[in-house]
Structures are given as C-alpha cells and as structure tokens.
Amino acid sequence: MAVLTKAPRGTRDLLPGEIEKWQLVEKKAAEACRLFGYGEIRTPVFEHTELFLRGVGETTDIVSKEMYTFRDRGDRSLTLRPENTAAVARAVAEHRLYAGVQPLKLYYVGPMFRYDRPQAGRYRQFHQFGVEVFGTGEPTMDAEVMALAMFFFRSLGIAGLELRVNSVGCPACRGEYRQALQERLKEKANRLCADCTERYEKNPLRILDCKKEKCREVTEGLPVLTDSLCGECGDHFKLVLAALAEVGEAFAVDPRLVRGLDYYTKTAFEIISPALGAQSSICGGGRYDNLMEELGGPAMPGIGFAAGLERTVLAMEAAGAFAEPPGLMDVFVATAGAVGQEKALGIVMNLRSAGIAADKDYMERSLKAQLKYADKKGARLIVILGEEELQVGAVTVRDMGAGRQETVRLADLAGYLAVLLKEER
RNA sequence: GUGGGUGUAGCUCAGGUGGUUAGAGCACCAGAUUGUGGCUCUGGGGGCCGUGGGUUCGAGUCCCAUCAUCCACCCCA
C-alpha cells in the first residue's frame, strides 16, 4: 500500500467503535486519581534529549536504541518522550512545585514513543496512564501507589492481575550486590546464553531473570538482592509489604524483578496480565529517590507507575469488559413525498437544541431507504414529514422498536419525543 | 537488532500439478408498482492478486529481492 494511505509502522488510528473504549479508560483513570487525591499534569510530547539521557540513563535500552531523536530548525536535539517520569520531574523542578504542599501527587495520560519492533501489545506510539508522587519516602506511599494501580484496573473490570513486588535497593547496596554477583558468576560466565553474556557487563541483575534452562542452572542457589539490602532499604521493603498486606492487596515478592530504567531505587513493582501473551506487563513502577536531584532539582524522593493503555484495553477485551457503544442517534427525521430536506433540517436543529440527538438524510434517499439507514444507525424514533400531515401542522412519529406510529402536532414534537426517549431508557 | 508465519474486493477467505473475461460469504447501493426499517428474493458497483525484478509462449500460482503485517526473542507499558 502506498505510503500516503498508510499510518507509519507501529502506529495506528483509533476509529469510532474503538475510541469509546479509550474514552472509558481515560474516564476511569481520572476518577481513580480524583479519589486518591492526584492532580493532572500535561507536559510536552518532546523534550530536550539531554533530559532522557540523564533521567532514564544512557546505557538503558530505551535511551541507547529506542528513542525518536531529531534536530529542530534551531539545531536543538529533541526527543519524543519514551516515558514520562523524567519529564514530570523536570516540570516539577521548573515550576518549583516542590515549594508547595507535599506530598505532590500528579497523574498524566498521553502518548509515548519508542522505536521498537512492534508485536502484540507493543507499539511505537503507545499510551500511558501514570502517576508520580514527590516529596515523601514514606513506605505507605509505595503501597498507595500500587493500590491505586490495582484500583484502576479493577474499576475497569479487569481481574486476574498479578502484582509483583521487589526492592532494587539503593546505589550503595545494589552496587555491592551487583559486584558480588559478578564475582560469583565469573567462572561460570561462559556457560551463559548469548544474551546473558552481554548482560553480565551491562546489567548482571537481569541474568537472574533469564528464561533459558542453562542460565537457570548457573544462577541456581545464588543469593538474591532482597537478602542483601542495606538496613534502610531492607526496613523500607518490610514496611511496604506490611502496608500492602494491610490494604488487602494480594502480591508476590519477586526477587528477580528488575526494572530497565536507571532511576529506580528501593521499591520496584510490576503488574502482569496473564491474558496478554508475551507482552504481559500492563503496569510497571517503583521508587526513584535520587531522580530529582540527578536532574538538578532539590533532593527529593519520588515514586510512581506507568500503565500501558493499549495493553489495558487488550486485557479488558479479553475479560469481555466492554458494553456495546450506544448509538449516536435518538431520532431520525425522514421526508416523504415532495417534502423538502430543508424542512427536515429545520426540525432536526430544533430537536438538537432541545437536547435530542437528531439527524436526517443527506443522500437523496427514498423514504424506504431513509428508514433503512436510520435503522442501521440505531435510531430509536423516526419522525416522518408527510405532505398531508404538515398541511395541518402534524408529523408522524414511528417507534422503531415497537413498530408503532402516531400522529403528533409539530408544536408538541420535542416534548413528545423527549418523553418517549426517557421511557425507553 | 534477530527468527518464524502471512500478504487476492471494505472485512473474512477460496483459487490441485502455472493455461481464456479471478470467485464466495458478509458489508455497501438499488429494486421487488404510488409515503414506511429489520426477514426474504433479484440485480449492481467494487480487485496494478502488497511492490519490483526474474523464469516461461503464458505467473494470483514458481524463484529472488523489497515493503507491510502478525507472532516470538530482546526489552518494556
């Protein structure tokens, strides 16, 4: 297909019939955030490239091979945001939002961009609903953020999700553990798979998460990070888990869970939907206590998550959580005989002004074809403008469901229809 | 970046071993006697057979390349 009639790879159009699902998801996100006390923030879809290099980390996959980076006409290097935490932190620093009351609780919904190979549940332009909290390192906030994510999914009718929690420690204890791990793996490194050989240098923690049988054998019996946390990180982790238990949120501790972004500290979590296939991670998040300072803002702890909305919609579809979208037409105004369409337009406009979703024919159709069209569009009532009735100031109103029709005075039409429509609901 | 599957009508798909004008169902439009939907019947519009090369007298069909798409790896939401 020609490029002119094809959306770019990894992007897609949301068409009528599909978009209603997204409207519902966005509405539920806003509702949940209102209940939890989060205010909405909207940041630009592109930022200075430097922000993501610093914020996300230069060695991460996202930064090193997945960014949409370009130069503008002023020769600035800009990047379509691959995630939004760094950008929200930037906005908080820029507008000195930290000077207000804390904790600062924010949420966002919007498109993100990563140059990835598309597959089920993965796109180059995808959408995230996320929250970010700044100003507190208190463990119950970690639990609240996770509870908010679960609350959101539950409100959409998605069940069977798994919440996996881990602690990746702080730079100090994670660094020590990382070194110890490399030591322990040193001699066995040649027995690892090709991917893990690369991970050995870049991100050895990930080797523990490899699915390959031979790597599993190599890593069996090795100590896990959660057993090697420093005092502060360990205590924090315990308190987070206790708070989660207190709110009654089911979870599994997964010591192998590693996040791909550099800024995470302490709590890391992920929500999995078993209904989704390979890309089953529907939400990921964690604490980032050093990010704000790293970006040049004040030292200030933070925590948040990002939920993938494409995957959320897929999970809802798998759960059969969508109702039929309502029709866009309450009333169709048809013309019979020699009655002109301008007459119909006048009546349609009156009905619309009265709050009734009304429409008419624009295709020069016969009466029969007009009814057929109205039926297909889901019109509940038809107003038929006939020459003879109009002469005495009346029209015919036909109830499509019941198949009945009545003659109504034109002056009473809007009120009459409103009553009928109300009854049917 | 790597691997595998698939590209024929708007959609879902047929089109043994290459052989005239490429089919079906659904959808769309019209009609079945004057101004009445759904069901049924009849008719109609629609296809550079993804694209470009090649083999051949002849390619939707075989070969190569390319693009797209799907799935998986990687990574992540």
Burial of A150 (0-12, 13-18, 19+ CB in 10 A): buried
The answer to whether residues A341 and A285 belong to one domain is no
C-alpha span between A93 and A337 (Å, rounded): 69
Instruction: Give SS3 for A358.
Output: strand
Structure tokens at A198: 């690369």
Residue where a domain stops, chosen among A318, A341, A375: A318
Q: A19-36 and A139-155 helices cross at what angle (nearest 10)?
A: 150
Expressed as residue numbers, the domain containing A118 is 7-170+230-318
Q: The domain that contains A380 carries what CATH number?
A: 3.40.50.800
Chain B nucleotides with an atom closer than 7 Å to a protein C-beta = 1-3, 28-31, 35-38, 48, 50, 68-77
In a domain, A195, yes or no: no
Calculate the angstrom distance between C1' of B34 and CA of A25.
Answer: 52
Q: pLDDT, tens digit, for every residue of A116-156?
A: 999 999 999 999 999 999 999 999 999 999 999 999 999 99
In a domain, A283, yes or no: yes
C-alpha span between A283 and A275 (Å, rounded): 14
Q: pLDDT, tens digit, for every residue of A267-284?
A: 999 999 999 989 999 999
Q: Tell me, what's the ipTM? A: 0.88
In a domain, A201, yes or no: no
Alpha carbon A380 to its chain centroid, in Å, reads 34
Question: Which among A73-77, A184-188, A362-366 has the top mean pLDDT?
Answer: A73-77
C-alpha span between A61 and A304 (Å, rounded): 20
**pLDDT of A394 higher than 60:** yes
Give the nucleotide nearest to A65 (CA→C1'). B1
Please state the domain count of chain A: 2
In a domain, A191, yes or no: no
The answer to whether residues A237 and A345 belong to one domain is no
- Pick the closest to residue A147 from A259, A243, A265 (CA basis): A243
Give the nucleotide nearest to A390 (CA→C1'). B35
In a domain, A356, yes or no: yes
